[in-house]
């Protein structure tokens, strides 16, 4: 949110207008879908604050949901009540992208403590291949070695030394390595061995990633446990990608669904989240052909009965989101401020 938008929310808070919006019939006809990615097991929140927050920070969010008298609903229930026009006051649905191990480690116990339902959009390839996810793990490893210079690494396509103290330089290095792996057709095992070598080159312990299960997905057993406790498991593609080819796109959905059925007992997942928030108009008929009922984006907003079910907005909550902005979105003021381009308006 822009500085102007944050300022508008703070003004609304100061004059108690935010809670008035939250009590309005306008807000009760709308659903806030919150999006989370990861809770830090170690220092991931310092590496990527736009994706990770600490467990204590997340606990404060759940407490705020209680304090603002929000009604936290399972996504499936929330969508049905939205369409039927019978949402309770300040309806919220909690969603988590990817299904990382840190959800099982930190988010799941906190959700049980507060008694809140949640949905996990589970990507599945790395559930079987229990290794750190290559691309994001390489980003993390290079960040950990940011005080160093990466020597030429021809096996990974890096032909000259690279200073790692700059975020753009690290991003370019990751992109070059990923491109090199694709050109060579390296499989997951070969990429993992390359990751271990890269970690060693910058003084990072690859074994630490494995021991702490940093940047790993949940195992089938983890998923079964959270599902038995009431967490909904839904679709996020098998390999966390959205090809522009219909056959390949639909295969991602079919393989994702089949894996969830065989390994987690999820018989008919029908809610979907676009990996990395990437969506295209062409995807909508393909999703309908795969019997997907809803799909969520990362476009901030409140969902209404008029929202396209396969392009539902969500508010992505991050470590950088202030308490006033978060509360503003719970009550609906954030949606109004964004719609007005930073100016506070009445519903």
> pLDDT tens digits for 320-342?
999 989 999 999 988 988 765 54
Based on the number of CB atoms within 10 Å of its own CB, is 191 exposed (0-12), middle (13-18) or buried (19 or more)?
A: buried
99: left (phi over 0), alpha (psi -120 to 50) or beta: left
Q: Say if pTM beats, i.e. exceeds, 0.85.
A: yes
Give residue-wise pLDDT tens across range 225-234: 999 999 999 9
What is the pLDDT, as a whole number, of residue 5? 55
Task: Report, as ranges of residue numbers, the positions in the chain whose pLDDT lies below 70.
Answer: 1-16, 339-347
252-255 contact pairs (CB < 8 A, 24+):
253/286, 253/287, 253/290, 253/292, 254/290, 255/124
Q: What is the pLDDT of residue 77?
A: 98
* pLDDT score for 338: 78
Contacts of residue 313, Cβ cutoff 8 Å, sequence gap at least 6: 33, 296, 297, 299, 300, 301, 302, 303, 307
pLDDT at 11: 47
Backbone angles phi, psi at 232, to 5 degrees: -80, 135
Which residues, at least 6 apart from 60, have a Cβ–Cβ distance to it below 8 Å?
none
pLDDT of res. 343: 41
Return the CATH number of 3-128+217-339, one of 1.10.940.10, 2.60.40.10, 3.20.20.370, 3.40.50.10490: 3.20.20.370
Whether 130 and 221 have beta carbons less than 8 Å apart is answered as no
Rg of the chain taking only CA atoms, in angstroms: 21
């Amino acid at each position: 949110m822009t500085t102007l938008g944050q300022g508008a929310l703070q003004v609304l808070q100061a004059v108690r207008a935010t809670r008035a919006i939250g009590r309005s019939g306008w807000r009760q006809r709308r659903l806030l879908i919150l999006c989370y990615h990861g809770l830090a097991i170690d220092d991931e929140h310092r590496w990527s604050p736009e994706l990770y927050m600490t467990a204590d920070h997340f606990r404060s969010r759940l407490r705020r949901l209680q304090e603002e008298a929000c009604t936290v609903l399972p996504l499936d229930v929330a969508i049905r009540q939205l369409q039927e026009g019978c949402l309770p006051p300040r309806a919220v649905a909690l969603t988590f992208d990817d299904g990382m191990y840190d959800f099982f480690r930190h988010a799941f116990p906190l959700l049980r403590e507060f008694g809140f339902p949640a949905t996990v959009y589970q990507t599945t390839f790395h559930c079987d291949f229990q290794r750190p996810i290559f691309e994001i793990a390489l980003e993390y490893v290079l960040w950990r070695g940011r005080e160093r210079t990466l020597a030429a690494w021809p096996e990974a396509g890096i032909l000259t030394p690279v200073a790692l103290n700059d975020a753009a330089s690290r991003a370019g290095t990751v992109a070059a390595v990923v491109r090199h792996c694709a050109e060579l057709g390296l499989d997951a095992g070969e990429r993992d061995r390359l990751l271990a070598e890269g970690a060693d080159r910058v003084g990072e312990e690859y074994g630490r990633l494995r021991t702490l299960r940093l940047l790993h997905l949940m195992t089938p057993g983890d998923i079964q446990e959270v599902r038995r406790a009431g967490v909904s498991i839904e679709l996020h593609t098998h390999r966390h990608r959205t090809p522009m080819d219909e056959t390949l796109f639909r295969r991602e959905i079919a393989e994702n669904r089949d894996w969830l059925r065989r390994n987690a007992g999820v018989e008919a997942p029908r809610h979907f989240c676009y990996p990395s928030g990437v969506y295209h108009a062409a995807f909508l008929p393909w999703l309908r052909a795969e019997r997907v009922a809803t799909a969520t984006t990362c476009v901030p907003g409140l969902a209404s009965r008029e929202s396209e079910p396969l392009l539902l907005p969500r508010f992505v909550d991050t470590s950088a989101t202030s308490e006033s902005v978060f509360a503003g979105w719970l009550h609906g003021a954030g949606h109004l401020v964004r719609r007005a381009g930073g100016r506070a308006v009445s519903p």
